[in-house]
Amino acid sequence: EAGVTQFPSHSVIEKGQTVTLRCDPISGHDNLYWYRRVMGKEIKFLLHFVKESKQDESGMPNNRFLAERTGGTYSTLKVQPAELEDSGVYFCASSQPHGTGDYGYTFGSGTRLTVV
Amino acid sequence: AQKITQTQPGMFVQEKEAVTLDCTYDTSDQSYGLFWYKQPSSGEMIFLIYQGSYDEQNATEGRYSLNFQKARKSANLVISASQLGDSAMYFCAMREGTDSGSARQLTFGSGTQLTVLP
C-alpha cells in the first residue's frame, strides 16, 4: 500500500509569491489533515477534510491560505501571497473513515517551505 | 493553556541504555487517545505507540513502552536499549473525544530531540 505522498519536498519562494503544496492520501482514506510546524515550535493543526468537505478549518491562520480537495482524493494547500512567517514544514496525514484506531493516522514526509 | 507539554527540548542517552521522554496532557474529555511519533532527520513522521484512555494496561511496542498515569495526566515514552538510529525528534500527541462519523485531529507537543551517544 502506498503511503501519504507530499510534494514538493522542499520549496523556496520569495515573499509575495504563490506556492501550492500537494498531498496524495492513502487510497480509501476519507479523512485528510494538514498540519504545520514552524521552526522550533509544536506541530499545529490547520484543517481537516472528510472526503471533499472541510470538516474543520479552525487552524487556518488567515485568508492567504486556501485548501481544496476536489473529488475527495488529493488535496492542495495554496499560500497566496506568501509571507516570511509562513516558513515551516507542512505535513499532511490521512486516516480511514472511522479513524479512532491506534494506527489511524498516516503522515507524509512533509513539505519544507522557506519564504525569503 | 498547552494541551500537550513536553518539557525536555533535548535529551542525551548512552547507547544501550533506557531513556524516558516526558509528556503531560490536559483534557476534560473522558475518552481520548495518546500517541507518540518519531521524526528522524529525513523528515517523515513515524508512528510509534498508542494508548487509549480506557486502556488499563500500559501500551508496549517492541522497545517502546508508554508509562500511562491517568490521574497525573502523563504519558511518558520509555525507549529501552537505545540504538544510534533512535536519534530523532519525538512528538507526543493527543486525540480528544470519540467520533461517530469522522476522526478528529491530533494536538501535538513541541517535541523532544533525542540524541543517542555511542
**Model pLDDT for residues B3-15, shown as the tens digit of each residue:** 999 999 999 999 9
B45 residue type, one letter = M
**HSE, side-chain direction, 13 A CA sphere, residue B108:** 24
Angle at A86 between CA A83 and CA A91, to 5 degrees: 150
Chain A residues in contact with B102 by the CB 8 A cut-off are 30-31, 48, 50, 55, 97-99
Q: How confident is the model at residue B102 (pLDDT cuts 50, 70, 90)?
A: low
User: Are the Cβ atoms of B105 and A56 closer than 8 angstroms?
Assistant: yes
Chain B residues in contact with A56 by the CB 8 A cut-off are 105
Q: How confident is the model at residue A14 (pLDDT cuts 50, 70, 90)?
A: very high
Pick among B36, B102, B113 to test the A interface (most A CBs inside 10 A): B102
Question: Do A49 and A75 form a contact (C-beta atoms < 8 A)?
Answer: yes
Angle at A51 between CA A100 and CA A93, to 5 degrees: 55
Please check the confidence at residue B99 and state whether its pLDDT lies above 60: no
User: Are the Cβ atoms of B111 and A42 closer than 8 angstroms?
Assistant: yes
Backbone angles phi, psi at B32, to 5 degrees: -160, 170
Question: Could you give the CA distance from residue B34 to residue B47 in angstroms, rounded to a whole number?
Answer: 11
User: Are the Cβ atoms of B105 and A48 closer than 8 angstroms?
Assistant: yes
The mean predicted confidence, pLDDT, of chain A is: 90
Pick among A7, A96, A102, A109 to test the B interface (most B CBs inside 10 A): A102
What residue in B sits closest to A59 (Cα-Cα)?
Answer: B105
Question: Could you give the CA distance from residue A97 to residue A58 in angstroms, rounded to a whole number?
Answer: 20
Question: Could you give the CA distance from residue B25 to residue B51 in angstroms, rounded to a whole number?
Answer: 13
User: Are the Cβ atoms of B102 and A93 closer than 8 angstroms?
Assistant: no
CB neighbours of A62 closer than 8 A, spacing ≥ 6?
none
Please check the confidence at residue B101 and state whether its pLDDT lies above 50: no
B56 residue type, one letter = E
Please check the confidence at residue B100 and state whether its pLDDT lies above 50: no
Please check the confidence at residue A76 and state whether its pLDDT lies above 70: yes
Please check the confidence at residue A5 and state whether its pLDDT lies above 50: yes
Q: How far is CA B10 from CA A104, B45, B88, B95, in A?
A: 28, 18, 10, 24
